[in-house]
Amino acid sequence: MSLSGIFPIDRWNFTTQSILSILSEEDYQHLIANQSDERYQKGDIIFREGAVPAGIFLIRNGKVKKYKVDQLGKEQIIYVANQGELIGYHAVLSEERYPDSAAAIEDSLISFIPKEDFMDVLHRSPAFTQRLLKALSHEFTVLANSISVIAQRTAPERLAIALIVLREKYKDERSGDEKIVLNVSRTDLANIAGIAQENVIRLLKEFKEEGILETDGRKIWVKDLKLLVKRANYR
């Protein structure tokens, strides 16, 4: 089932997948000419907050969480990046250290692209620069909405929105009428929604009793999207 007409997913989700599509074949080949591929297992760190960036990362396969850690060691997941998306470019563009950390939330194949090649393609392709600026502007809107959720929404509403956004992330992997299965740990789900893990477990049980979703271990699939959107209480 589509979210069209029942939930404004674009206000809660951004993607960099379309950025590379603007490149000519020549510019794309120039971008990836010196790339190196590396496989990451679930939980492996890709980069840490405060590190000096040497380039950007292109997710070939898998999913990556971008997060910050507070003084008590608690994670707040800012964003989940999907196959085909770029990460790490903020620090390269600003010529600053990484403002957050990134880790694989499932086994992933990721290409590292040196910053010199990335910046060179930016200079070669005004269309690429414009598309990147557009993505950054939309990203700011999404992050502002996310901050609003943490500050103003109840725990059930936060969890419902997190599940809606994650469902969209896993949607591309579905084929035909196959159900959309979210394979995510309760810890990561809690850190996305900004609520305690015990509350996530309790609320998932409530949602299950209400016929909204089903679970099997760490796997979750939504049975009634309209009911989940209702739980999100978006107006």
- pLDDT at residue 71 is higher than 90: no
Q: Both 172 and 211 in a single domain? A: yes
Domains contained in the chain, number: 2
Q: Both 126 and 53 in a single domain? A: yes
Average pLDDT over residues 183-207: 95
Residue 157, pLDDT score: 93
Residue 135, pLDDT score: 85
The C-alpha angle with vertex 212 and arms to 79 and 183, in degrees rounded to 5, equals: 40
Residue 186 is inside which H or E element, if any?
Answer: helix 186-193
Q: Both 143 and 43 in a single domain? A: yes
Q: Both 83 and 20 in a single domain? A: yes
- CA atoms of 216 and 218, how far apart (whole Å): 6
Residue 85, number of CB atoms within 10 A of its CB: 21
- CA atoms of 21 and 18, how far apart (whole Å): 5
Q: What is the mean pLDDT of the chain?
A: 90
* Residue 66 placed within a domain: yes
Average pLDDT over residues 212-231: 94
Residue 113's CATH number: 2.60.120.10
- pLDDT at residue 74 is higher than 60: yes
Residue 123, pLDDT score: 94
Residue 172, pLDDT score: 67
* Residue 216 placed within a domain: yes
What separation in angstroms does the CA of 60 have from each of 36, 42, 183?
A: 11, 15, 18
Dihedral in degrees, nearest 10, Cα atoms 152, 156, 81, 222: -150
Residue 143, pLDDT score: 78
Least confident of 25-29, 146-150, 177-181, 214-218: 146-150
Q: Both 134 and 160 in a single domain? A: no
Q: Both 37 and 134 in a single domain? A: yes
Residue 177, pLDDT score: 56
Q: Both 135 and 216 in a single domain? A: no
Best CA proximity match to 57, nearest among 88, 17, 12: 88
Residue 140, pLDDT score: 81
Q: Both 216 and 108 in a single domain? A: no
Q: Which of 89, 119, 148 is the last residue of a domain?
A: 148
Of 29-43, 127-141, 172-186, which one has max mean pLDDT? 29-43
Best CA proximity match to 169, nearest among 158, 157, 180, 156: 180
Average pLDDT over residues 82-107: 94
* Tokens at 110, concatenated: 């990721």
Q: Both 104 and 58 in a single domain? A: yes
Q: Which of 148, 165, 195 is the last residue of a domain?
A: 148
* Residue 189 placed within a domain: yes
Q: Which of 113, 148, 183 is the last residue of a domain?
A: 148
% of residues, the chain, pLDDT over 70: 93
Does 5 or 21 have the greater pLDDT score?
A: 21
**127 lies in which domain range?**
13-148
